[in-house]
């Protein structure tokens, strides 16, 4: 039976009965090498398969942490600008990247190196991005924090201050909300030469208010000392349009740089996800080939088929019936021996046909 007949036979009992949608999964005719080497390679491929699946999931999680919109996230899960189901259905072996006439072990080594490189880059780039994000979070927390700690550049204005005076200066004072009455009653007495009625509320949050007060420069230290005793916090702030502009520019620069880094990080995650997912499907193809040769021998005569289940339970029973005679070991009644032989490969499921799951 040739590959087309194998495919037609499966379609007749599954797709035509609405149990599944089936697609040919094209795998090259690789160089097989010796059986011993192939068995050893199959174990390594299973480990690399699991390792790569975990890496694909890790990159997906990193992308999901950035984008809450499920639809937008799905649109960015692509391989070579193709969505994942389409890529798998129309899968073709990347001959330029992994020459099919190379020994299977060499192809395995190339894919493994590629996956390892993606993992290393993931750790380095994610670490750098999280460090940068931490700085921005700290800045935002400070800017939205209470008045004692937050920058004042975006709150105060030039008209709040007495500027250019030889004798007078304006201070900014943070007053707890529960002490505002005490502030109004006492601020003019906290030093000898405080200008009467000079205190103006500039800003308030849930727990504090920011007031101005004008006084003679030579009385500033006395005012600070007495204010502290009454739990009024005098800000270390001197109005300067140049300094305010620098502070605002610094904050804007940090946020702009963060947006730039986020865009680059997102692009890298998207490309790395596609690269890693593509590597995963190539590993699946190698596993199918190696497992089929080990089970059914040479010459190679099999057709890999991608099955998209519709009725899972009925489909499995149909496949078991269709291929009940395909595996000579199972047909001969040696089922207990086979899982034992495969335990070292961490095989949890065994069917008469080669079976692998692909998550998309």
Which residues 6+ apart lie within 8 Å of 288 measured at CB?
Answer: 25, 27, 304, 354, 356
DSSP output for 201-235: EEEE-SSEEEEEEEEEGGGHHHHHHHHHHTT-EE-
Q: What is the pLDDT of residues 297-310, one digit of tens each?
A: 888 888 999 999 99
More confident residue, 327 or 51: 51
The superfamily (CATH) of domain 3-135+258-344 is subunit c (vma5p) of the yeast v-atpase, domain 2 (1.20.1460.10)
Given a cut of 90, whether residue 34 has pLDDT beyond it is no
Alpha-carbon torsion 353, 356, 46, 89, what sign?
positive
Which strand (E) or helix (H) includes residue 289?
helix 241-296
* pLDDT confidence of residue 334: 43
Task: Report the C-alpha gap between 307 and 26 in whole angstroms.
Answer: 13
Q: What is the pLDDT of residues 182-203, one digit of tens each?
A: 999 999 999 999 999 999 999 9
Given a cut of 60, whether residue 347 has pLDDT beyond it is no
Percent over 70 (pLDDT), the chain: 91
Structural domain spans, the chain:
3-135+258-344, 158-238
Return the closest-CA partner of residue 216 out of 250, 190, 252.
Answer: 190
Return the closest-CA partner of residue 354 out of 305, 321, 282, 318.
Answer: 305
Angle at 240 between CA 135 and CA 153, to 5 degrees: 40
Q: What is the pLDDT of residues 225-282, one digit of tens each?
A: 999 999 999 998 888 888 777 777 877 887 788 888 889 999 999 999 999 999 999 9
* Choice among 4-13, 28-37, 58-67 with the minimum mean pLDDT: 28-37
Task: Report the C-alpha gap between 224 and 235 in whole angstroms.
Answer: 9
Given a cut of 50, whether residue 343 has pLDDT beyond it is no
Return the closest-CA partner of residue 171 out of 154, 190, 149.
Answer: 190
CATH tag, 158-238: 3.30.70.100
Which strand (E) or helix (H) includes residue 137?
helix 104-143
Task: Report the C-alpha gap between 324 and 333 in whole angstroms.
Answer: 11
Return the closest-CA partner of residue 304 out of 16, 109, 101, 91.
Answer: 91
Q: Are 199 and 211 in contact (CB under 8 A)?
A: yes
* pLDDT confidence of residue 301: 84
In which band, very low, low, confident or very high, does the pLDDT at 348 lie, cut at 50, 70 and 90?
low
Q: How many CA atoms lie within 13 A of 60 on its CB side?
A: 16
Q: What is the pLDDT of residues 57-95, one digit of tens each?
A: 999 999 999 998 888 899 999 999 999 999 999 999 999
Tokens standing for residue 338: 């086979």
* pLDDT confidence of residue 331: 46
* pLDDT confidence of residue 332: 42
Task: Report the C-alpha gap between 77 and 83 in whole angstroms.
Answer: 6
In which band, very low, low, confident or very high, does the pLDDT at 141 lie, cut at 50, 70 and 90?
low
Q: End-to-end CA distance of the chain, in Å?
A: 31
Could you give the angle at which helices 241-296 and 104-143 cross, rounded to 10 degrees? 150
* pLDDT confidence of residue 55: 98
Task: Report the C-alpha gap between 295 and 351 in whole angstroms.
Answer: 11
Q: Are 173 and 233 in contact (CB under 8 A)?
A: yes
Mean pLDDT of 138-154: 72
Instruction: Kindly report whether the peptide bond that precedes residue 79 is cis, defined as omega within 30 degrees of 0.
Output: no
Strands (E), 301-357: 305-309
SS3 state of residue 307: strand
* pLDDT confidence of residue 61: 95
SS3 state of residue 101: coil
Tokens standing for residue 131: 């460090």
């Amino acid at each position: 039976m040739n590959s087309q007949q194998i495919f037609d036979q499966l379609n007749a009992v599954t797709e035509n009965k609405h149990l599944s949608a089936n697609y040919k999964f094209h795998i090259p005719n690789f160089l097989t090498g010796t059986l011993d080497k192939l068995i050893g390679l199959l174990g390594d491929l299973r480990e690399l398969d699991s390792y790569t699946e975990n890496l694909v999931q890790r990159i997906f999680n990193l992308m999901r942490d950035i984008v809450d919109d499920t639809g937008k996230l799905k649109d960015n899960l692509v391989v070579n600008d193709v969505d994942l189901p389409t890529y798998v259905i129309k899968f073709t072996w990347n001959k330029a990247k992994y020459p099919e006439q190379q020994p299977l072990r060499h192809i395995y080594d190339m894919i493994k190196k590629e996956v390892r490189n993606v993992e290393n880059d993931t750790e380095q780039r994610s670490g750098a991005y999280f460090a940068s994000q931490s700085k921005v979070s700290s800045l935002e927390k400070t800017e939205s924090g209470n008045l004692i700690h937050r920058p004042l550049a975006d709150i105060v204005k030039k008209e709040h201050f007495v500027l250019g005076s030889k004798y007078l200066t304006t201070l900014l004072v943070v007053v707890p909300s529960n002490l505002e009455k005490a502030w109004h009653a006492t601020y003019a007495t906290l030093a000898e030469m405080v200008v009467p009625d000079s205190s103006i509320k500039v800003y308030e949050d849930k727990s504090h208010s920011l007031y101005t007060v004008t006084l003679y420069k030579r009385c500033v230290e006395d005012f600070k000392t007495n204010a502290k005793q009454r739990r009024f916090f005098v800000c270390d702030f001197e109005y300067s349009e140049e300094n305010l502009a620098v502070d605002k520019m610094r904050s804007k620069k940090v946020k702009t740089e963060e947006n730039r880094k986020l865009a680059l990080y997102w692009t890298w995650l998207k490309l790395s996800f596609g690269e890693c997912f593509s590597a995963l499907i190539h590993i699946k193809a190698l596993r199918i080939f190696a497992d089929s040769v080990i089970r059914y021998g040479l010459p190679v005569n099999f057709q890999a088929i991608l099955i998209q289940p519709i009725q899972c339970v009925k489909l499995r029973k149909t496949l078991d019936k269709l291929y009940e005679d395909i595996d000579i070991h199972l047909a001969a009644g040696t089922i207990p021996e086979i899982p034992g032989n495969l335990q070292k490969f961490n095989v949890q499921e065994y069917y008469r046909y080669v079976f692998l799951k692909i998550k998309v």
